[in-house]
Every structure is written in C-alpha cells, then in structure tokens.
Structure 1
C-alpha cells in the first residue's frame, strides 16, 4: 500500500449493507450482522496506513417504520465491534419519497463525512455494491468503486468507471496496485 503522503486518498468510505456486512434487509438485530469475507483485513490495512474509514448508509427502514434509529445504532455498534472503529458514520433515515439531499445517490452524506474528516471530497473514495453508491461519490466529487454482488444490476456494473471483485481489489484500484 502507498503511504497516506503519496496516496491521493485520505479516506475510504464504505456502504454498510452488502459491502461491509452481508445484507439483511431492514436489519434491526445486531446478532444478524456478518462481515463480508476480507472486510476486517481491508479495514485494518487502511487504518494501519493512516487512512480514515467511514460508513455511508441509506436506512429507509426508519422512515418506513420497520426499524428505529436505536435499532440502526445497535447494528452499527455491532459492525464496529466486529470490524473496528470508523472515523465517521453517516446514516440517511429517509425514504426515496422524502426528497432529501442525503439519501444516496444524492451526495449529502459524502459531503458531510468529508467535512467531519476535514478533507476535500477529491481525497475520498466510496466503495459500494450498487450504482447509487457510485453515483453519490461522483456527485460529491469523490471517487466511486463498485463491488458487485448478486443484487447489483448489470447496467450498474456497465455504468461504473471502477469495478472490483472484492473489497481488497477495490482498495488496490484506489491505491494504484493490481
């Protein structure tokens, strides 16, 4: 890995569900949190290099009344327990119908995370499993990397500028290593 002094990226932000942890729709139960293979090693490597990490997560189940903010906080705490501490968390509690500026693919959460980290958006990357993640990154001026899963649509893969088979390869793309 490049050192933070030579790397363009000072932060790598991640989508939560389907990217860092196995997607359980509208999960409000911390006991159901399962990291994706390799996630902890990737995060530990970034942290060891002094690169900030964060989570950017749409949680429309809150707006829909399926889960509470406390449920999401409990799941997020379990994610940190399993994967280590993140420098920033951004959660959008809105549904698509709310028209907020934070819900991906809108760039609001990326802007907010970068402000909290004290970095320019161009110094951040967002890794996610759907097109909305990549579009949010690009709309904010950050770099988006798509790590497809079985639910990722073919057109999302085709539209993404950077695509990687897993998190380690995604970070490798960002750092200019194969």
Structure 2
C-alpha cells in the first residue's frame, strides 16, 4: 500500500519538513524570536519572574540544540549536514564567540558546540531586542525591525550553510512599482 500523504500517525517520513531548507529554519528561528520578545515584555511588565523566564529559555535552548544537532524526529535531516556540517560552519563563523560562551575553549563535541551556538543566538536575540526597544521601535511588529531581520537572516544562513537573498518586506520591488505606475 502506498502512502497517500495522510499519515500523521504512521511514523513515516513523508510529512517531515526538511530542516536545512531556509524557509523551515527561518520559520523556527523567527518563531522563537517572537516568543523570546513576548517573554521579555512579560518579564519587564512583571507578569513572569526571572526564574520562569530562565526555565523557558533553557527549554528553548535545549529544543534548538537538539533540533540543529539532528536529534529532532519532527524534521527531515540531511545526515551530511547535521550535526557535522553545521558544527563546522558554526566553528568557522562563530569560533571566538563560541569559545567565550563555553568558558574560553571551543567545544570539541559537535552537539555541545551546537548547544553553545544556540545560547549565543538567544543572547544576541535578547541584546537586539533591548537595543531596538531602547530606540522606541517595535521589534517584531507588523513590519519587523531591520535589526531583527538581519539577525534572523544571519542565523538562518549559518544553520543552513549558504547565503540567502532576502529582500526587506517594507520595501517595494522595482517591478511592483513599475506595475503600479504602468496601470495608471
């Protein structure tokens, strides 16, 4: 019997999304960035405690670390990339930062390095959120702050292993503008 694609309970890989696809990785990172922004706002408003926020952050880091180490069965994993390729790319791109995050020495184990990278990612998200908020800009509103988009792009590229061509959603493309003026 062939799979019809309606197999949520059969355990096959047919419905798994490819983790290395930039849309999937970007969506994962973007979702966690939004959740972190909401946690930060709730913490600032006194709606959650530092302990609750730390616990949620620890769970986020563990989920991200396991996922990008290739240990999350929800996703289709490229065995050539997870964990060896992504760890190598992170060593090249973030070696100094990862060594600092790990107490001065770069982790040798791929999984440990990836978990350390997720801690760096989360620290960068919180730092960027604080910087954007101080400017009085909504970090992840209808039109996300350029700093948040740049962070999302950078980390997506590091985790998928290649450069992405993204355009700012706030800017109209020349083609759209030409279409609009040509129809008048």
TM-score greater than 0.5 by the shorter chain: no
Larger Rg: 2
TM-score for the superposition, normalised by structure 1 = 0.31
TM-score for the superposition, normalised by structure 2 = 0.31
Structure whose residues are more often helix by fraction: 2
